[in-house]
Every structure is written in C-alpha cells, then in structure tokens.
Structure 1
Amino acid sequence: MNIIDNSTIKINIDGVEFSAKKGSKIIEIADEVGIYIPRFCYHKKLSVAANCRMCLVEIEKSPKLVAACATPVMDGMKIFTNTDKVIDAQRAVMEFLLINHPLDCPICDQGGECELQDLAVGYGCASSRFIEEKRAFEDYDLGPLVATDVTRCILCSRCVRFCAEIAGTEDLGIINRGSNSRIFTFLQQHLQSEISGNVIDLCPVGALTAKPSRFKFRPWELVQNSFISCHDCIGSNLYVHVFRDKIIRIVPKKNDTLNESWISDRDRFSYEGLHDKNDRLNYPMIKKNGKFENVSWNEALNYSAEKLNEIKKTYGPEKIGTVGSSSSTLEELYTLQKLMRTLGSNNIDHRIKQLDFTNQHDFPKFPGANINLDEIENINTVLIIGSDITKEQPIIALKLRKIINNGGQVFTLNPVNFPFTMRITDKIITNPKYFPEILLEILENVRVSSNNENKTINKYKNLTEAFIRSEKSLILLGSYVTTSIDYTKILALSIELTKLTDSKLGILTDGANTAGAWIAGFIPHRIPGMSMSYENEGLNALEMFKAKLHAYILFGIEIEYDCLYANNAINALKNADFVLSFSSFKSKYLLDTADVILPIASSYEISGTFVNISGLPQSFNAVIPHEYEVKQGWVAINDLARKLKQPGFGYNSIEEILKEIKIITDIRSKITWNSINTESLNSEILNEFTLLPTISPYSTDPLVRRALSLQKTYIKNETSIRLNSSTYKKLKTNSNLLVIKNIEKENINKYVMLIDNEIADDTMIIDSKDTIDNTEFMLQCDKLNFEQS
C-alpha cells in the first residue's frame, strides 16, 4: 500500500521544481535549495515582520508581488525571483532605503560586511535622484557594550524583535511615525539583557555596533578562528576575530544543538581582560626576601622541584595538595592530577565553591545533565531550584523561554524573587535552609497522587500536578544549591523526584569544564576512569585548607574571588611552607601567599578540550599566541614533572595527552543519576539567618573580572546587604550598618543594609566585591554587630 505524505508538496522556483514542507515560507525553501532572495528584516530565529519589502517575488496568477518571508508555499505554486517586475521593485525599495542613509561607509564599522552595502551594489541604482536634505537623529546611550548611530537605521526591527522575543526584556521599540520613526529605549535606560550584544550581529547596517571595538578595525583585516566558550558549562560555539595577533571581537558560530545563533555578553566581551597589562604575568617569579623577582623558567622550576621534594621527604606526599580551576582544560587538569599522584598525593580538587562533600562516591561520572541541551526546549515542565538562571546561564534561559512560548510551565524554588525574563508559572520564595523540607513535601504529594490515595493536597498543588501530568519534565539545580551546606540532601531529594515522575535532572555547574575535571580525575576520590577505595582517597578542597598542609599547588585560580571559604584558604596558604601558583594574572592575595608564580597562557591563548554538562567534549586551538615567557599550562606542568624526575611526562603535544586520556576513559559520556543514601544526611534545621553572596555573571573567572566594559554594566555604588523588612525587624536594631569580619581578621567590612522585599525571610544577600569568610553562611543574631552611619 502506498503511503501519501501530505506534509510534502511540489513547488517551482525560477523554472526548477522542488519538494517543500507544507506551511514553509517561500524564503525558507529558497534558502534550502540555494536560491538567494535579498532581505533585511527577515531572520530565521525571529518572527516575520515583512516590513522591508526587499524580498518581493512574483507568483504566477498573482496580481501583485508578495513578500517571500511572509508567504507560505502551496502545492503547484510557481515562483519567480528575477523577473523585470521583481527587479524594478527591488531597485525601488533600495532607492527608498538609501534616501536618508548617510554616506559614511569609510568610517562605519559595518563597512565591508554591511548587508545594505551588498544589496545596494547588487540590486540598487548607481546614483540617487533625492536632492533634499537627509534627516538625522541624535544618538542615545545603550550602555558600555553597544554603540548607536541611529541615523543609519533602516527600521528592519530585528533588534526590537530580538529583545522582545528572544531576550525577553523589551528594551527597544519603534517610536513616532513616518519619516520620524526611529528605534528608541522607552525608559531611556541601558540594555538590561545578558545577551544584549546579539543585536550587533542582527543589525544589517551600522546602526548598532560593538562599543569596545569601535573604530579599531576593518572587517577584511580580521582573521576568523573557531573557539569554545570558556566561561560557562554550555560550551557555546564562537568565532574569534583576530587583528594583528590581538582579539578584536567575538561573534556566535551557529550551533543549533548548543547556542543556536546567540552568545552571552560574557562570551562576547570577555576578551578585553587580555588587554589588562597591569595584572598580566609575563615572567616566572620567585619571592626573595619578601619581594618577587623575575627569574628564568629553569630557575623557577628547579626551585619548585627542590621545595616539593624537600616537603615530600620531610612530611610525606600527603602534606602536598593541589587546587585547580573548573575552567582549565581537560588536558591541563589530567596532567596536573597525574603529577600529583605520581608524587604520592591524592589531595586534588577543583570544587572550591562547594561546602558539602558528603556521599561524593554516589555521584555519576560527573555532575551534569542527563539530557542533551537541544532537547530542553521540548520539555513540558521545569523546576528551577536555587538559580538566577537568566544571569548565571543566559543560554539555558533562552531555551526555557521557548518552553514557555510552546505552552510549557516553569516553576522556581529560590531565596529571591528574581526578575526572570520569562513568565514563571509559580514561584516558591524561601530561605535555602527550607529547600529540603519543601522537596520532601513535593515528593510526598507525588506519592499520594500516584497511589490514588484519598488525601487532599494543599501545598504546591500546581507544581505537583504539573510534574505528574507532564510527559517530559526537568529539574535544574543552580548555584544556590551547589554552594549550599545542604547540597547533597537537595540533590538526593531531587533525584528521587525525577525517579517518581520520570523526569530529567541537570546541575548547572560553574566554570567551563567541571565535567572534564571529574573525567580527568581532578578530584580526591577518583582517578581517571574509575573510583578509588575509601582508604586511599585524598582531602577535598575544604579539608585541604583546614588541614593546613605544608605545600599547595594552585592552578588558574584567584583564591580571594574563586573560593567560597576564602578566609580558611588564605590563612592556610600564608602558613604553608611552600605555595606554587600557575597563573595568568596577578592579584593581591596571590602576591601575598605564593612563593613561586609560573605564568601560563590565558583563555584564547590555549588549546585543549572542554566537556559541557551534557557530556559533549569539544576541542579547540589557540587563536592568538602567548607573549614573553608565558607557557601553555600543560607545558609548564610537563616541565615541572621532568624536574621532579617523574616518569610518564614525555609529552610533545597536547594531542598526545588527549590520546592518553581516551585510552583510559571515554570522554564522550552520558550520565545516569542513581539514588543517594540520605540516612547519613543531617536533617536539623537551624533557626538562624542565612547570608548569600550575589552571583554576578561578570565575576566568574580572572579574564571576565578584568573585562572593563562588562564590569561597567554591574558597578555597585556601595557595599550593601539586602534583606526584607521582616528580617530587619528581627535584628532588633535601629542601625543601618552591619559589621562583618573580612579575610584579614584584624579588619572589618561595613555593609549598608538595604530593604528589598523580594528577598525571602531570614535571608540576607550581600553585594560586594570584597571577600568575606563564606564558611560562616549562617549568622547568629546575637553575634551580629551594628553601627550607626
């Protein structure tokens, strides 16, 4: 029996017959078969506006030309894209668009890659009949990232539709009518989205350009290189544009599986951190008589090897520990853990933003997501626990907006009523110490409903029913969970909920390569590819700093910003006999605590592999050379291992390291979440205040922290602690200053207390660039100090 496919039809374009999907637009089919139709307003990822009229085509038996972007194909349709009628219409549209457009191509950043330029040459006239004065508009400030030249705007409305449909911020709109129409911010404020830079790529002319790189290049001078995002757990694909061995801009590389056609502002503008000449390390340094001196690599490595061998011989290898960055490459982390284990130490960890390490043996191959990222938008119901996901993971947030637009539901359990850029079905706002209790109630609700017990569900009814009814559901755990003292408990309960409801689970890990760190064995309880017996496992990061080891090796971290227990860490480093740091940048506490500093290549100067949260490994090559005496991280580790006379470190290329890793373990992995034993977990709820640090998207790593334009978007005028009015009353004080000791025990930080009723009861959110002792998350009221301002 023949099966008739009603979804496929036949159409004819310029005399050639093609098969097409029913309901597709003419321009979509033309693009698929390689027939170019000019356009300005059309974009595959945006809604159809059909306002530029550049894509007009002729259809047989149609009295008028039609817009190819807005006209669906029909069976037997005959379409003509290059008749005299079409060409005349396109020429007329181009003439109208150029009436008021300024002739400033020689100074326009878009010159050379401008869609208006290209189509003017291909479809326009050689001269203009317009002799009247051109209209002009005053430019307005969109913030430190996007520059405007409104007079160049052709009102394609791509940027307006992007803000409304993709970003969800509606920052831009079209005001006035006729020739006075222009793009404007209604409230005259800066762009608020974490993905605002995408309007630069969408703009077909030079009306919106990148402010940090303005007037610094011509497009034909740039060299394009593929790269992988080094700032989050998604692994967004990028194109890095290089001018004279310096990165001048970064744009998205289309990948519908990961980031589609978008990237975050963090990925787009982080390269500016490479331009920080004050903090950049260029030479090996040894501290002599309390001051650092530049030395040769040979001297620095010999001295380091001598000190490490001395400590190993005197105190044993278990008194040496290493802490690395979750944004280091798979190859760097593997090589460093291999060096440590050949020395005889399993004190290896990257989890310096984690407080709870219980039941770590029950974790899968790596903490991540048991779902591919492109499958998220097909989910029906999502529960976000402990995450300001719009800021932390903007690319994931875009996928969640698609769920909402497709009729799905998103629920949140958070300590703050965050201003999400999507419609949230239900919000549960509470102190994080109650997260386990709430999850237990939801679990009980699901059990009752699944067993058809005659019991009324009063609390969290909508969430419970949504998860029970949903065919595809997902739970996402964010940074307020992974940094919690109840991390394992919340994770265990979330796993049980996924098993009861057949849901997926994902942990939004920090850094670009947390999954890779676990796979590489950069953890104290596992070697690459397998687990380790309990008696042989080393100390985790928190235990290492509490144990006050005799030697520490730091790799790619700034302890005062990256560590959740900075106070303990810095005290331990100051009291250690020897501290060796592999770093790209210097910082205050690095200079205070380190004895030897080895300069290593930063992001974009390194080759390597990142593994994202769904287990996808992506390798990349350096896009710019490193300068002076800087070395790639794996090379520096390899050289140190040779000085220590350790076997197995004859690597001549990074490909050799990756090949060795692949022999030991499969780096392309999927994970399965198994139940975690909750009997040993503490169930006591303390009646205390909870202090939570602000999770800034622009403080994730040393490079981002030095990207000046990004930092200008999040400048705080004062160091403050935000709390709601109910919590303030419980403090029983008339003061507006809260005093907390900072890293230096003899000093204090004073925080202005601001009332913010979007914050949960008994919860305080700290906004500060200073480091506090974050192990003291729980604050006793009788231990707080106040002052009058």
Structure 2
Amino acid sequence: MSAQPTQNTAPNLVNIEVDGKPIQVPKGSMIIEATDRAGVPIPRFCYHRKLPIAASCRQCLVEVEMGGRPMPKPQPACATPVAEGMKVLTRSDKALHAQRNVMEFLLINHPLDCPICDQGGECELQDMALGYGRSVSRFTERKRTVADENIGPLVATEMTRCIHCTRCVRFISEIAGTYELGDMDRGDRHVIGTYIGKNIESELSGNIIDVCPVGALTDKPFQFKARAWELVAKPSIGYHDALGSNLWLHTRRGEVLRTVPRDNEAVNECWLSDRDRYSHQGMYAADRIGAPEVKRNGQWQATTWEDALQVAGDALKKAPGSELGILLHPATSNEEGDLLMRLARGLGSAHVDHRLRQLDFADNAVARPFALPVAEIEQIRTALLIGSDLRHEMPLLNHRLHQATKKGAKVYAVNPARFDFNHKLAGESIVAPQALVDALLALASAAVAVGVTAPAALAEAIASAQSDQGDRDTIAALKSGKAVVILGEAAVTHPQASWLRAIARFIADATGAGYDELPVGANAVGLARLGVVPGNGGLDAQAMLAQPRKSYLLYGVEPPHDFADGGAALKALRGADQVVAFSAYSSAALREVADVILPIALLPEIDATLVNVDGLAQGVGAGAKAPGEARQGWKVLRALGGALQLTGFEFDDLAGLRDGITERAAAPRSGLAIRTAVTGLTRLATWPIYRSDAVLRRATALNAHPLNRAPAVRLNAAEAGRHGLAVGDRVRAADALLPLVIDAAVPDGAVWIEAAQDLIVTLPPYGAAITLGKA
C-alpha cells in the first residue's frame, strides 16, 4: 500500500514511505536526498550532493511503488524524484539483488591494487564491495588496462582503477568551470581524460581527488607517504586569502602530510583551493629556520634564545621610538598583532602597519567585512568587478560568483587586463592602470545621469566624465535587483586606490548594491579591527620606506616580495642601523638586511585567531610541530616584552593574552590621492596566485604548476610593435632582462610584469611609468 498523505502536510512537502517509515520531504527532492535526510543508507558512486546528477553508476538502484503498484524495474535513487504517496524499498530482495549485480559489474575490470593504492583505507569502492560485493569473482576473462595521463604536478592518475562515475568531469565543468576533463569513447574503450593530453590548470583541481570514489585520482605530492589510519586530523583554516577556508591537516608525528577540506557551508562549502591544499609543502623548505641567529662581524651565528632576545632588545632600544618602524605581514594573527601594538607603545613608536602592498593611504583605508556575505554571492543577479582577477585572488569566492552566473546572474568588469574568468562577462572595460579611475568615473557618470547626486568630493570629476551605452547598461543592471560591487586586489593596491574606492562605494550606494572589498592578507580584517595601523603622527608602510627609519622590526615579512615597492623596501632596510626579524624562513635577502632572526612558527603550528571577509573570528589550535627551536610568535613576543620590562606582557598563558585584547578600529579619512598624469607605458604588477606569500613561494608542487608563470614582459602585439619588439626578443626593464610574451589580455599603454619574482625586485611599482628596451 502506498503512503497516505497526512492532513498537516506543508504545501512544499510530500509524504513518502521509506522501508516502511513515513517521512515528509521537500517537493522536487530525489529519493537519495530523502533517504539521506532520514538516515537510510543507499550505496552510491556517481551521486554527490554538490554535483549535477548523472545516474551513471546505477549502484543506488531501489525498488519503488506508486499507487500500490511496483515499478517494473529498480529505479536509480539519485535520479528519481519523490512524489506524493511513493513507497521506497531500499533493502528488499529486488533492490539488494540489483545493487549486488551492479557491484559485481563494477569490479570486473577493477585491479586488485588495494595494498599499493593510496586510496586504501578510505576508499568508497572498498566499503561498498564489503557490503554488496561477492567474496569470490565469477569473472575469468582478461581485465582491461588504461594508460595513465600526466595531468600536472598536483593530481596523480591511475585510470585503470576508474569506474566512470564522472564525478571529476562534472566537477571540472560545473564547479571549476574550465571543461578540462571529459569522457571519451564507449564500452571497454571508455576513458576519462583531458582530450589532448595537457595539465589541468584549474585553481580548484585538487577537489577531483576528494570527489573520486576510488584510487583513480590521488594527491600526487602525498603519493606513497602514509596510510589513512596513520594520520591524525587536526582542524585548521586556510591562510593564503581572507576567506579562511576550513580544512583538516592530516599529520603524522607532528608533520603535515596532506590537507583536505573541512565542511563549512557559509565559508568554503566542501571545497578547497589548490593553494590551501598544497601549501603545506612550503612549511618544510630548505631555508626554514629552526634556531635563533644573530649577525656578528658580518657573519651569521646560531645562538640561544636568551642571547637572541638580548640582542633583539638592545637593537630595539638603540634608536628612539620615533625612529622605529614595525612592519608585519597581513596574515599575522590577532594575538600576535595585539602584542606588536603593545610592543610599539612600550617603545614609543607610532609607526606600525600591516598594509604592505598598498600604495595609496590618502583615505587611511583598512580592510572591512563584506557587506554582502560570501554565502549570498550565489544568489545575486548582477556583479561589478573592479580591478579584480577573482579566480586568483580568492578562488572560492569566484566559485560562488560562477555558480551565480549559471543561475543567470550578469557580471561586468572594469579591469587593467583581460583576466581569464571561468564565466562569461555581460560587459567589460579593459584599460591601462593609469586609466582605471577614468573608466570608473564614466560608470559613475551614468549613475548621476539617472538622477543620483554625486558626493561633493567626486562631483567635479564625475561631471567631466563621459559615459557610453555600456556604462548605462551596467548601472541599469546593478539597479535591477540583488547586486554587488567587488573591489579586487588590483584596485586596492592601485596607486590611486582612494579614488577607486570612493567611486566604487558611490556606485554601490547609488544602485543599492552591496559593497565588498577584498582584503589583501588572510587576517587584514582582524588586524584592522585591532587598530594595527599607524598611531597619531605615525607613518604608514609606504612612508616608512620613503622616509627610512633607523630601526625596523619585521614580523613574518619576506623582503622584498611582500612589499608593493620591493626596491624601496630593500633600500630602506639596507640603510637601517638595526633590523630585527621574526621569521619562519631565512631567505638570502632577509639575511642581508637583518641583524637578528627570531624563528617563529607558521599558522598551522600555532594557536591563533584570524578574522575572515565576513567578519567571522575563527580560532585554531596548533596542528603541527614547528621545527627545531622555533616557537609560537606570541610566546616570543611575550618573552621579548618581558625582557624589555614593558607593560602589557604580564600574562601567563594564551587565555590571559586574549583577555587583554581590545579592539581599536582605525578611523577612515575622506582624503583622495593627488592624481598625477603618467605618460608612456605603466606597469601592471599583480601577485601570482602561487607566489603571494613566503609559504606558497616554497611549495614545490605549486611552483611547478602552469599558473605559476616564469617572469616575463607581457605586451599586446600592437604595443610591442610600437616599441620595436617582436616574439622571441629579450627586453631590458630597469636592471632586469626578461623574455617578451605577446599577450592579447594586456591593454594599450600597459606592460604586465608580475610581482614577487626574484628577477624584478628593482622595477618600478604598480602603476608607475616604465621604460623598455630591446636587449
């Protein structure tokens, strides 16, 4: 008998019966979703709650009755929608017989690799074979084999193990949006591959390892390192962008061997970007420092903590507080940031800053939480990207935007280059860095044209701008419904960022859109909340380099690559009387400029709190062991503050430290940078996705990835011709000699030379004029 409807059924629910138990489920649900809600297990391989339904494995076959009549054949639970009065039998003889037969067919060609397969111990096929497989195979024919394909440095392939569930294909096409995998041929020739034998270049490619139910796709850097049961899972968060993706560190004896996603629907769902997944390799680089070192008579010597702290304290006291500059990385934790502020106050210095990659401080801008939360980006109808290569800046935020476009959202962009998006743009304006403000003013002019009053500070500039039909279409789309304006890193780090920020906020206010500004640094929002910025009369990060100090304290900073102007940073640090460095690494540049290096642990090795783009404070515990004598940063700062006998360092433990933390948010200003005309070529300097911090720059697998491009001068063909350059030429830019790459993504008037490369540290910063010559 079919399930009988109840009198109080909500209009969006239907009544069904699963194994004799009546339940109510949402209309439109598939049977497998209903049984998952009810806690009834159904075997499956191709089904994944985040992927489109394929119904290709047939492992989830169940018996279904409608109107008291059983359907003639078992139905796939993943592709059969529920209906009022439906009766589902998951453990009937008919259902179990079908499930066991499918399992037998799946195992026909599967190799007996379990003892040497990296998936062993956490394999869905092993689990299902135990529950639904035969103890002895009846298949006596020869098993098929499939040639493996090299798809890059991150994912290892063993395609003979593939059961053709197509989860990886659907992930790459529907989630990553890059269409780099497909299934080809039929029957026993059916294979999964890249069509043309190429590396997978998606920034989310590691997720195909997680969705693969067998050992066909595995973690290449982790290959043959350990068994699943040897690993201890420690909760942590990603620290290479401000999303704060939740993840698990899989450790053995304190060493991180693998990183996998930890579900959090509001942040990263069940996905993880490749840089969060594979960056742990950088934790064990050859130049990781495990003991304090001091420079004596020009020679570096390992020493004790007592001696190193004494040397550091003496160095910091040599110059007055007005001559001390404190520069910290924007991924520094709340606890460390607060202690650095206490140290600065105790030493009488107002020169403290974490905004190392900003060039424009006219409005004293700091990172703020998103107005439109990350989880709501999928629901927008229109987005305007300003100066943003979102795929590389925050990959999983871009994933949310990509999902929105699949639902019909329109995305417009104003960018200094034609960045490679994985979704179509409804409109774009690509201009050289020096023209970015003018392009945005034209958009603002279109907003004013429909009756919005411009703010006084922008009124004259907007009045002189000319909008076109594309600008008017963009404004109309933003006004039509739920919309967001996203200011990306190429805008935040622009030399006229105050203008871009003010205009973007005006456009958002005028159209009723949310305003989301991407923080530069994993804890930029948290440090801004704590007021880790210059005090009264203090110099910002750029001013500390332009007006060199006699002493510097560097915290988690790797010169010159972490600075907007690497050349200016090296010049200022080389000229300082003393430089105290708290660092996990001892790079050649740091050893050149520093006088003492105090080894500190990295985020996976410390107890810390970081604040993400939604303003969510996420606390983590130490998941791995720091090497040698390296210590958690807050402990080193406490010891240094105590040695200097400063107030605020009397606490005994982390709880005592956190009790003393108070928020001192910086007050914004309404200033705008002076606009100066730049003639000729201007440099576009973006930070490569896998070179944006010291850990990533040492992650060997990511460094071998195609997205980690070699240093080059990138010009469009017309601009190269105007400068007498052609393909194959080597180009001299300042002191650097680089190959020329003809790139249609670069607009006229611009040369794209990526930052954080050893060969280009002396080049002018982003937005500055640059002269090129044929070598």
| TM-score, reference length from structure 1 | 0.92
Shift of 1:660: 1.9
- Unaligned runs of at least 5 residues, structure 1: 526-535, 742-747
- Within 5 A, what are the aligned runs for 1:373-522? 373-450=374-451, 458-469=469-480, 471-522=481-532
SS at match of 1:560: coil
Separation in 1, partners of 2:425, 2:468:
21
Decide whether the 8 Å contact of 1:688 with 1:779 is kept in 2.
Answer: no
| In the alignment, structure 1 residue 48 sits paired with structure 2 residue 56 | no
Q: Which amino acid aligns with 1:547?
A: Q
Q: Which amino acid aligns with 2:309?
A: L
- Sequence identity (%): 37
Go from structure 1 to structure 2 and tell me whether the alpha carbon gap of 1:717 and 1:346 turns closer, same or farther (over 3 Å shift): closer
SS at match of 2:695: helix
Cα distance per residue 1:299-332 (max 9 Å; x no partner): 1111221222232xxxx21111110011111101
Decide whether the 8 Å contact of 1:561 with 1:771 is kept in 2.
Answer: no
Q: Which amino acid aligns with 2:378?
A: E
Shift of 1:238: 0.1
Matching residue within 276, 298, 313 for 1:290: 298
| In the alignment, structure 1 residue 738 sits paired with structure 2 residue 727 | no
Separation in 2, partners of 1:301, 1:666:
28
Task: Answer with 123-132 or 769-778: which moved more.
Answer: 769-778
Go from structure 1 to structure 2 and tell me whether the alpha carbon gap of 1:567 and 1:456 turns closer, same or farther (over 3 Å shift): closer
Shift of 1:728: 2.4
Cα distance per residue 1:450-505 (max 9 Å; x no partner): 479xx995342321221122x21111111211111110000000111111111111
SS at match of 1:515: helix
Separation in 2, partners of 1:652, 1:451:
56
Separation in 2, partners of 1:558, 1:511:
14
Go from structure 1 to structure 2 and tell me whether the alpha carbon gap of 1:590 and 1:375 turns closer, same or farther (over 3 Å shift): same
Decide whether the 8 Å contact of 1:691 with 1:766 is kept in 2.
Answer: yes
Matching residue within 704, 713, 719 for 2:705: 713
Decide whether the 8 Å contact of 1:108 with 1:206 is kept in 2.
Answer: yes
- Unaligned runs of at least 5 residues, structure 2: 1-6, 454-465
Q: Which amino acid aligns with 1:738?
A: V
1:326 is aligned to 330
Shift of 1:19: 1.0
Matching residue within 81, 91, 115 for 2:90: 81
Q: Which amino acid aligns with 1:219?
A: A
Shift of 1:769: 4.0
Q: Which amino acid aligns with 1:291?
A: Q
- Within 5 A, what are the aligned runs for 1:188-227? 188-227=197-236
Go from structure 1 to structure 2 and tell me whether the alpha carbon gap of 1:431 and 1:634 turns closer, same or farther (over 3 Å shift): same
1:528 is aligned to none
1:754 is aligned to 741
Go from structure 1 to structure 2 and tell me whether the alpha carbon gap of 1:273 and 1:642 turns closer, same or farther (over 3 Å shift): same
Decide whether the 8 Å contact of 2:736 with 2:763 is kept in 1.
Answer: no
| In the alignment, structure 1 residue 240 sits paired with structure 2 residue 255 | no
Shift of 1:755: 2.0
2:3 is aligned to none
- Within 5 A, what are the aligned runs for 1:547-626? 547-626=547-626
SS at match of 1:511: coil
Shift of 1:716: 6.8
Q: Which amino acid aligns with 2:28?
A: G
Shift of 1:785: 5.2
Q: CA-atom RMSD, angstroms?
A: 2.1
Decide whether the 8 Å contact of 1:377 with 1:400 is kept in 2.
Answer: yes
Decide whether the 8 Å contact of 2:689 with 2:708 is kept in 1.
Answer: no
2:351 is aligned to 347
Decide whether the 8 Å contact of 2:573 with 2:579 is kept in 1.
Answer: yes
| In the alignment, structure 1 residue 299 sits paired with structure 2 residue 307 | yes
Separation in 1, partners of 2:52, 2:559:
46
Shift of 1:627: 3.0
Separation in 1, partners of 2:710, 2:241:
28
Shift of 1:694: 3.9
Decide whether the 8 Å contact of 1:116 with 1:204 is kept in 2.
Answer: yes
Separation in 2, partners of 1:281, 1:451:
57
Q: Which amino acid aligns with 2:595?
A: D
SS at match of 2:753: strand
Matching residue within 676, 683, 692 for 1:691: 683
1:770 is aligned to 759
Cα distance per residue 1:236-270 (max 9 Å; x no partner): 00011112221111110111101111000101010
Shift of 1:221: 1.0
Cα distance per residue 1:515-560 (max 9 Å; x no partner): 11111221104xxxxxxxxxx2311111112221111000001011
Separation in 2, partners of 1:643, 1:131:
76
Separation in 1, partners of 2:489, 2:113:
47
Matching residue within 663, 666, 674 for 1:665: 663
Decide whether the 8 Å contact of 2:350 with 2:539 is kept in 1.
Answer: yes
Cα distance per residue 1:124-164 (max 9 Å; x no partner): 11111001111111111011100000000000000000000
2:16 is aligned to 11
Separation in 2, partners of 1:323, 1:397:
30
2:158 is aligned to 149
SS at match of 2:81: coil
Decide whether the 8 Å contact of 2:682 with 2:769 is kept in 1.
Answer: no
Cα distance per residue 1:5-58 (max 9 Å; x no partner): 310121110111111111111111111111111100000000000011111111
Separation in 2, partners of 1:15, 1:45:
29
Decide whether the 8 Å contact of 1:26 with 1:68 is kept in 2.
Answer: yes
Separation in 2, partners of 1:785, 1:107:
54
Q: Which amino acid aligns with 1:438?
A: A
Separation in 1, partners of 2:369, 2:449:
30
SS at match of 1:561: coil
Cα distance per residue 1:199-256 (max 9 Å; x no partner): 0000000000000010111111111111011111101000111122211111101111
SS at match of 1:194: coil
1:263 is aligned to 272
Go from structure 1 to structure 2 and tell me whether the alpha carbon gap of 1:501 and 1:3 turns closer, same or farther (over 3 Å shift): farther
Decide whether the 8 Å contact of 1:337 with 1:348 is kept in 2.
Answer: yes
Shift of 1:754: 2.5
Separation in 2, partners of 1:50, 1:776:
53
Separation in 1, partners of 2:416, 2:707:
23
1:21 is aligned to 26
Q: Which amino acid aligns with 1:187?
A: I
Shift of 1:351: 0.9
Decide whether the 8 Å contact of 1:94 with 1:120 is kept in 2.
Answer: yes
Separation in 2, partners of 1:109, 1:77:
41
Separation in 2, partners of 1:681, 1:703:
33
Decide whether the 8 Å contact of 1:20 with 1:29 is kept in 2.
Answer: yes
Matching residue within 163, 167, 174 for 1:158: 167
Shift of 1:761: 0.7
Separation in 2, partners of 1:4, 1:493:
51
Q: Which amino acid aligns with 1:48?
A: I
Go from structure 1 to structure 2 and tell me whether the alpha carbon gap of 1:545 and 1:407 turns closer, same or farther (over 3 Å shift): same
Q: Which amino acid aligns with 1:605?
A: E
Cα distance per residue 1:48-87 (max 9 Å; x no partner): 0001111111112212111110111111111110000111
